[in-house]
Amino acid sequence: MNDSDDSNDEVVTLAHGAGAGSMRALIDDLAVSRFADEDEPAADEVGLAALDDGSVHPLESGDGSVVHTTDSHVVSPPVFPGGDVGRLAVAGTVNDLAVMGATDPLGLTCSLIVQEGYPMSKLESVFESMQTACEEAGVRITTGDTKVMRSDEVDGPVINTAGVGVVPPGGAVTDAGLSPGDAVIVSGTVGDHGIALLSEREGFGFGGDLESDVAPVNDLVRAAMDAGSVTAMKDPTRGGLATTLNEIAEKSGVGLELDEQSIPIDDAIASAGEVLGIDPLSVANEGKAVLGVDADDADAVLEAIRAHPTGSDAAIVGHATADHTGRVVLDTGFGRRYLSEPEGEVLPRIC
């Protein structure tokens, strides 16, 4: 196609897919301005304007709400240390549902796009991973779609999963519910997925001990919600913990104070991050949850998470305040600074 007429036109950049401010501006411009409901949302309703991990639709019967979410997974390479695009596709959508409070999905869709000539044995392996992840999460693929493109048209496999679940009345958890005083818990070490993937892509071996954390967290989240009052949740994917906490602070209208020393980071991930020049707080995790918890329940929820097989590194990393609304203050032990979103850093096809 001749695009010469568009030579002076604004174009899509990699930053538009990086999960921070540029992406939100694009989504605002393309989608929120067109599709968001201008009416005040009903009780228990979460629509597009909220830009949360999914949408929440109250049932007319009053018996709760339907939670819906989607992600397209374009990770490169499709097989990486600790996982592959299949495992990522299941975990990504299960986790988005879980952090909205829907820990028992009704089902997932699987929409596969793959290129002509792709080896069937590799595709089988991707689906094998999906099966394993589904078994871990206690969920099934219940419908799907298959498209084949030429090998010069897509560098796949690309897998979209959408997920649907039901929560009881008042049972949806958003990323906007944090109140001053609430504790902030992360369910384990941060930075693993992004740094393992980047190390692999850049050809650093680091002794082969770096692995993505990609895993379903719905069972862990269920345990946390059973143990106390969870006021806000999000999974720290693109843009990492830094972006996630800034979003929670801004949407909740609170400030956050973080104790850097208490943030769990694997030693090998921290070392690799230094070599690569990448902050583990700013890159994607794919098997973690960030939870805001009522202060009175914080110890009980932390204990429940730590008792979970995948939660032994969980920690209380900070708390919400009424000060510096919408900002995240990091206490490094040597001083205090704002923890900003990694706007400039562009890591394409990380998930």
Site for its own copies in 118-147 (CB under 8 A): 118-124, 127-128, 130-131, 134, 140-147
Cα–Cα distance for residue pair 196/82, rounded to 1 Å: 8
Tracing tokens 């499709």 back to the chain, one arrives at 78
192-135-229 Cα angle (round to 5): 65
Pairwise CA distance, residues 30 & 53, whole Å: 18
Binding mask 154-193 for its own copies (x = CB under 8 A): xx--x-x-x-x-x---------------------------
Give the number of other Cβ atoms within 10 Å of residue 157's Cβ.
22
Count residues binding its own copies (CB under 8 A): 87
Q: Which stretch binds its own copies (CB under 8 A): 108-116, 177-185, 278-286, 302-310?
A: 108-116
215: closest CA among 154, 150, 132, 298?
Answer: 132
Nearer to its own copies, 168 or 208 (CB): 168
Exactly one of 21, 109, 271, 343 binds its own copies (CB under 8 A); that residue is 109
Q: Is 148 in the site for its own copies (CB under 8 A)?
A: yes
Residue number with CB closer to its own copies (145 or 296): 145
Q: Restricting to residues 4-63, which ones interact with its own copies according to CB under 8 A?
A: 6, 9-14, 16-18, 23, 26-27, 29-31, 34-37, 47-48, 52, 54-55, 57, 59-61, 63
Q: Which is nearer to its own copies, 70 or 340 (CB)?
A: 70
299 lines the binding site for its own copies (CB under 8 A): no
For its own copies, the closer CB: 107 or 208 = 107
Strands 141-149 and 107-115: parallel
CA geometry: angle 81, 223, 220, nearest 5 deg: 5
CB 50, CB 42: distance < 8 Å: no
Identify the H or E element spanning 195: helix 192-202
Q: Closest approach of Cβ 94 to its own copies, in Å?
A: 14
Tokens at residue 303, please?
């204990």
CB of 302: closest distance to its own copies in angstroms? Answer: 30
Residue 104 or residue 260: which is nearer to its own copies going by CB? 104
**Tell me, what amino acid is at 321?**
T
* CB closer to its own copies, 173 vs 268: 173
> Cβ 324 to its own copies, closest distance in Å?
29
Residue list 55-94, contact with its own copies (CB under 8 A): 55, 57, 59-61, 63-64, 66, 68-72, 74, 76-77
Q: Are 320 and 254 in contact (CB under 8 A)?
A: yes
Reported as type and span, the H/E element at residue 336 is strand 336-338
